[in-house]
Amino acid sequence: MTGDLADRMAVRETIERYSVALNQRDFDTMRGCFVADGIWRVDPPFDIRLEGDAIVAGIGQMVGAMPFFFQGLMGTIVAMDGETATATTSVHELGQRGTGEGGLDSYGLYHDRLVRTDAGWRFAERRFQPLYLDTGAMPRNVVGG
């Protein structure tokens, strides 16, 4: 495997590790996907910006309000530039609030900038661009947990 291909696979693994950690509410693993001064942002209508350790606290609070939350990845394009990489990933998120009265059905794109570290590829910045959002009640039942 060439270096470029190995790096692309390692970048994709970081993206996938973040998503699986989020789905399992493993915030320590999720935090490890970022550099120490990393940034996580969400575009309007949310306008959220979290940095460093505030990333875990903020995302934990948002996801914690939902007994059911799932993020699915649908495709990733990676571009390499030496010790940095950019990636765009299509994402679908579903969430159900504890009351069952509201939920989250969202499609969007993650725009990422990653850097190579001694520990591997890590997010320097993640920006979520919402493309579709429905916060109405979810008519479906959660079957596992």
Is the C-alpha dihedral spanning 30, 34, 134, 101 positive or negative? Answer: positive
Q: Is the pLDDT of residue 61 over 80?
A: yes
3-class DSSP assignment, residue 117: strand
Strand blocks (E) in 13-67: 34-42, 48-51
**Which two tokens mark 16?**
């996938």
Separation CA 29–CA 26 (nearest Å) = 6
- The proportion of the chain whose per-residue pLDDT surpasses 70, expressed as a percent, equals 92
Q: Is the pLDDT of residue 43 over 90?
A: yes
Query: Structural domains in the chain?
Result: 3-134 (3.10.450.50)
- The proportion of the chain whose per-residue pLDDT surpasses 90, expressed as a percent, equals 77
Mean per-residue pLDDT over the chain, rounded: 92
Amino acid at the residue 27? F
Q: Is the pLDDT of residue 100 over 80?
A: no
Q: Is the pLDDT of residue 80 over 80?
A: yes
Q: How confident is the model at residue 142 (pLDDT cuts 50, 70, 90)?
A: low
Predicted local distance difference test score (pLDDT) of residue 1:
46
The pTM for the full model equals 0.92
What would the mean pLDDT of 73-77 be, rounded to a whole number?
97
Q: How confident is the model at residue 77 (pLDDT cuts 50, 70, 90)?
A: very high
